[in-house]
Amino acid sequence: MKGNLLIVHGGGPTAVLNCSLYGAVKEALASGEVGRVYGAKGGSGGLLREQLLDFSAVPPQELELLRTTPATALGTSRDALGPEDYRAMAQILQRHGIRWVLMNGGNGTMDACGKLEAACRGTGIGVMGIPKTMDNDIAVTDHCPGFGSVARYMAGTIRELGADVRSLPIHVVVVESLGRNAGWTTAAAALAREQDGDAPHLLYPPERPFCEEEFLEETMAMYRRLGGVVVVASEGLRDAAGKPIVEPIFETGRSTYFGDVSSHLAQLIVRRLGVKARSEKPGILARASIAWQSPVDAAEAEEAGRAACRAALAGESGKMVAFRRLPGEDYRCETFLAPIEEVMLGERTLPEEYLRGSDVTQAFCDWCRPLIGPDLPRMARL
């Protein structure tokens, strides 16, 4: 009797999470080794409630739409799980004849993946991780599915915003980027530049302690030079003492609901510098944009799902699919399997060699550019 396979999504969605789902489902259905392919509706909480979707009931045309649908068609969650929950999950998996579990998510989900794998040892159930996060902060892997698309969004929209500010250079615009502790999304805005003086003019990732006086000095200097300034600042900015520059609205477990950093900085500019300023906060729009989806990101996300499925069916367990960049002038990556213990709640921040004052280095831009796919649309200059 063939065993069944289950896919579980966890954490915040991305523009390519459904691409990984598509890849895993298609690989499992084509394998000839899997009886039924299930999806947990609503993440780990859905699994605990035994709310399972049978993909054999999904019309083929709906399955094909997954590759161009943002977020997750299965639903996701941020459930706080205890030891008793993992034991309950193991029992549910056995009850439904599930032999393979693919957990697709970020740091917290990889932690859950490792704990579920431990709870399933001795049962014959294999558990594999598929990386997903727009923050790009998962350890071990060169980069993570979800990041390339949000990087393309940030670069593309900052280029558009820069053209607007350049055409009426009378104010400072502060754009708040997602990224609690890691500045990869903030840094990606640098790819917007076509020539010297282009936006973004100042970048403030969370890896560097934020100094209010330096920020005001740098902003004013740039304003005097250009007239119109675009600043990109992380939602997770902290001062030298590690305190958020805007008090969080609410904190629970690993989740933090940040205050409005962009609004705070824009008001600071108006009050202290007497310069017009406004704030923009793309927020989850940045991770939900199919219009800015990177085809490189989408293809790699799908391959991550397929690779995890192949590994699980081959008997692997307790590992996560990761990406390794290959040497050479042209961008190429391959997947490999990383022990889940090396990934669980490990956080990968921007390394020092990618940071330069209130900006990033050319080395970062060279590393990041292949991930966003085709060249961004050029802007006319008269």
Question: Does residue 256 have a pLDDT over 70?
Answer: no
Task: Please indicate, yes or no, whether residues 182 and 89 belong to a single structural domain of this protein.
Answer: no
Number of folded domains in the chain?
Answer: 2
Q: How confident is the model at residue 259 (pLDDT cuts 50, 70, 90)?
A: confident
Annotation marks residue 135 as catalytic: yes
Report the candidate in 27, 75, 70 with the shortest Cα–Cα distance to residue 47: 75
pLDDT of residue 329: 92
Question: Does residue 251 have a pLDDT over 70?
Answer: no
| CATH code at position 67 | 3.40.50.450
pLDDT of residue 254: 56
Task: Please indicate, yes or no, whether residues 281 and 298 belong to a single structural domain of this protein.
Answer: no
d(CA 338, CA 22): 22
Q: How confident is the model at residue 247 (pLDDT cuts 50, 70, 90)?
A: confident
- Asked whether residue 378 is domain-assigned, the answer is no
Q: How confident is the model at residue 196 (pLDDT cuts 50, 70, 90)?
A: very high
Task: Please indicate, yes or no, whether residues 258 and 191 belong to a single structural domain of this protein.
Answer: yes
Task: Please indicate, yes or no, whether residues 217 and 354 belong to a single structural domain of this protein.
Answer: yes
Question: CB count, 10 Å around CB of 170?
Answer: 10
Q: How confident is the model at residue 72 (pLDDT cuts 50, 70, 90)?
A: very high
Question: Does residue 258 have a pLDDT over 90?
Answer: no
Average pLDDT over residues 56-72: 97
Tell how strand 255-257 and strand 250-252 pair up: antiparallel
Average pLDDT over residues 249-276: 85
Q: How confident is the model at residue 180 (pLDDT cuts 50, 70, 90)?
A: confident
Contact between residue 208 and residue 173 where contact means Cβ atoms under 8 Å apart: no
Q: Could you report the per-residue pLDDT of 145-160, keeping only the tens digit for each?
A: 999 999 999 999 999 9
| CATH code at position 281 | 3.40.50.460
User: Which is the catalytic residue, given 135, 137, 198, 297?
Assistant: 135
- Whole-angstrom Cα Rg for the chain: 22
- Asked whether residue 184 is domain-assigned, the answer is yes
Tell how strand 359-360 and strand 34-40 pair up: unpaired
Average pLDDT over residues 255-272: 89
pLDDT of residue 252: 63
Task: Please indicate, yes or no, whether residues 332 and 363 belong to a single structural domain of this protein.
Answer: no
Report the candidate in 236, 46, 9, 260 with the shortest Cα–Cα distance to residue 133: 9
Q: How confident is the model at residue 248 (pLDDT cuts 50, 70, 90)?
A: confident
Question: Does residue 1 have a pLDDT over 80?
Answer: no
> For the CA atoms of 296, 297, 303, 304, what is the dihedral angle to 10 degrees?
150
- Asked whether residue 379 is domain-assigned, the answer is no
pLDDT of residue 380: 95
What does the mean pLDDT of the chain come to?
96
Task: Please indicate, yes or no, whether residues 33 and 71 belong to a single structural domain of this protein.
Answer: yes
Task: Please indicate, yes or no, whether residues 122 and 167 belong to a single structural domain of this protein.
Answer: no
**Residue 187: which domain range?**
150-290+350-372
- Asked whether residue 40 is domain-assigned, the answer is yes
> For the CA atoms of 172, 177, 179, 181, what is the dihedral angle to 10 degrees?
0
Burial 311-337 (b: 16+ CB within 10 A, else e): bbbeebbbbbbbbeeeeeeeeebebeb
Question: Does residue 381 have a pLDDT over 90?
Answer: yes
Task: Please indicate, yes or no, whether residues 188 and 298 belong to a single structural domain of this protein.
Answer: no
Task: Please indicate, yes or no, whether residues 245 and 212 belong to a single structural domain of this protein.
Answer: yes
pLDDT of residue 322: 98
- Asked whether residue 241 is domain-assigned, the answer is yes
Q: What pTM was estimated for this model as a whole?
A: 0.96
Question: Does residue 253 have a pLDDT over 70?
Answer: no
Q: Could you report the per-residue pLDDT of 198-212, keeping only the tens digit for each?
A: 999 999 999 999 999
Contact between residue 133 and residue 323 where contact means Cβ atoms under 8 Å apart: no
Task: Please indicate, yes or no, whether residues 115 and 208 belong to a single structural domain of this protein.
Answer: no
Q: Could you report the per-residue pLDDT of 306-353, keeping only the tens digit for each?
A: 999 999 999 999 999 999 999 999 999 999 999 999 999 789 999 999
Percent of the chain scored above 90 by pLDDT?
94
Percent of the chain scored above 70 by pLDDT?
98
- Cis preceding linkage at 200, omega within 30: yes
- Asked whether residue 303 is domain-assigned, the answer is yes
Task: Please indicate, yes or no, whether residues 52 and 16 belong to a single structural domain of this protein.
Answer: yes
**Cα 197 vs. chain centroid, distance in angstroms?**
29
- Asked whether residue 377 is domain-assigned, the answer is no
Task: Please indicate, yes or no, whether residues 94 and 132 belong to a single structural domain of this protein.
Answer: yes
d(CA 226, CA 232): 16
- Asked whether residue 27 is domain-assigned, the answer is yes
